[in-house]
Structure formats: C-alpha cells, structure tokens
Chain A
Amino acid sequence: MAQLDEMLDQDAAIPLRADLEEHLRECDHCEITLNTTRKTIEIYRSHELYELPDDLRDRLHRAIVAKCRKC
C-alpha cells in the first residue's frame, strides 16, 4: 500500500518504479486500485464542491474589512 502511495505521488525511485510497473502489468487488483485511486483524486480536483458565490463573497469582504478597521 505504501508503494501504491509512491506511485500516486510519482515519488517512487526509478528502480522501484520499474519493479512496480512490472507488478502492475501482472496484477489486476493493484492496477485497478491504482487507477481508480488516481481517478478519485482527479475527480475531486476537477470539481469545485464549495463555491463561493459573488454576492456572498462581497458580503464577507465588507464584513471582514469593517471588523479589521475596528481593531
């Protein structure tokens, strides 16, 4: 599992990477786990789950500036 992590973060040293890549070619389970975990990260990265609408943003800015001026 720790090696999977290194593959996800592209941290694996080159000799280890070659071994892992060879293993992945033979092991469906590891390959699926790696690919679907990569996809998990990708999907979360590409969707903004908590957007800050402009009207709320403006309201927050006004409130922040007003509070800071009172400091």
Chain B
Amino acid sequence: MSSSIQSQGAAEIHPDVLLVERARQGDMAAFEKLVRQYDRQVFRIAQHIVQNREDAEDVVQDAFLKAYQKLDQFQGNSKFYTWLVRIAVNEALMRLRKRRTGRMVSIDEDVETEEGSMPRDLADWSPDPEAMYGQSEMADILRKTIQGLPPGFRVVFALRDVDGLSTEETAETLGLSVPAVKSRLLRARLQLRERLSRYFKKREGNGSRAKQGQGGVK
C-alpha cells in the first residue's frame, strides 16, 4: 500500500520528487529506488487488470520503462505513484486488448451491469470466514471472485479499497469523474459481497466446513 503523501508546499518536498529529479539527471540508482518502492503495487494492479502473470510482468517492465522515458513530463502536481499507476493501467489495458486479438478494451467495458446494484443474498456470514478457510484457500476464493468482475470495476476496487488511494486520486489516475468512481466502487463492493456470500454465508450446521476438507473453491 502506498504510504506516500506528496506535499505541495515549498517547505516540504516529497522524497519521490527528489528521486525523480535525480533520475532525470541520469542517476539510475535513484530510479531503481523508485522501482523498488512501487513494483509490488504496480504488479498487483496489473494482475488485477490482465489476470495473467506473464502479461503482468510485461506490464511492470513497460510501465517503468515508459515512466523513465517520460520523467520530464512528471510535473509534481500529483503524486509520483498515481502518475505511475496511470501509466501502468494504460499499459495493462493495452495488453488486455492485444490478448483479445485487437478488440478495444477500456475501463468502461461492461460497467453498465445491474448486478449487485441491489443486494439479493442477505444471509449473514458466520462463523467468521477467516476461521473457515486456510490462507491459500481463501486467496483462491478471493482471486476467483474478483476475476468475475468487469476490468473497470476490478481496477477501481483495487486502487481504492486494496491500495488505499483516495476517491479523488483514483478518479485522477483513471481519468474518471469522482461520481463515476463512487458509483463503480459501490457496485464492485456489492458484487463482490454478493459473490463471496456463496462461500461465506451462514448455513445450518456448516460449522468449520472448509477446514474439515469439504469446502473447496467452486
């Protein structure tokens, strides 16, 4: 999760801005520091969009390379991280388009769905899902569940709720309006909740079903 806060004040200059400045002057070690700082987040966001590890690796390389080539265009009026993520999101969408044999892919794709706009599954989750499934089984469930969402929902959820960007930063990063981000985020959250309910909802006598070896990823 990005913990960086870029100050716009003259007195406080964010360390990223100094690293960018040094990298612009040819200091490769400074750029490597930026890579080390953000590669995990960029990889995660790329994976959320392309849903494929090899493509995500290519996205990470291409995004950092493009960022390096465009360092002069970084104005410092946004966080370096959000600027970088914007590049990575575009690279990931291009990669997705290539995989789909040239068909246009945008973050607006399939977002008009009504799914999740009204909660249907109103069963409570009990016992705590974390107690029902082991770490790797839970990760499988979470991956499988989020993969079912349109890319435009996945990326908003990943940036806002997983990565911790603000609504405004998410909007800026994706070139969306704040209301569009809020609307997509709510629907992403509700769709995920609805889909996870299939695994986590309280059932009569289900107890620790999964840990007894009866509950796998469906």
Contacts and interface: CB of A to CB of B under 8 A. Distances in A.
- Asked if chains A and B come from one complex, the reply is yes
A61 B115 CA distance: 40
Contacts of B36: 61
Contact of A40 (B64, B69, B122, B189): B189
A49 B186 contact: no
B44 A36 contact: no
Interface in A42-66: 43-45, 47-50, 52, 56-57, 60-61, 63-65
B68 A71 contact: yes
A47 B135 CA distance: 8
B14 interface: no
13 contacts: A5-B185, A33-B190, A40-B189, A43-B138, A43-B142, A44-B161, A44-B162, A45-B162, A49-B146, A64-B60, A65-B28, A69-B28, A71-B69
Nearest to B46: A50
A41 interface: yes
A67 B48 CA distance: 25
Interface in A1-15: 1-2, 4-5, 8-9
B196 interface: yes
B61 A67 contact: yes
Q: Which of A37, A49, A57, A63 has the most CB of B within 10 A?
A: A49
B40 A52 contact: yes
B31 interface: yes
Contacts of A29: 119, 122
Nearest to A8: B189
A49 B139 contact: yes
A32 B122 contact: yes
A50 B28 contact: no
Categorize the interface residue count of chain A.
Answer: 35 or more
A23 interface: no
Contact of B57 (A28, A44, A56): A56
Contact of B28 (A2, A47, A68): A68
A36 B32 contact: no
A68 to B, nearest CB: 5
- The list of the 7 closest CB pairs from A to B, nearest first, reads A50-B47, A40-B193, A68-B68, A52-B43, A5-B186, A64-B64, A37-B193
A1 B193 contact: no
B11 interface: no
Interface in B32-60: 32, 35-36, 39-40, 43-44, 47-48, 56-57, 60
A5 B182 contact: yes
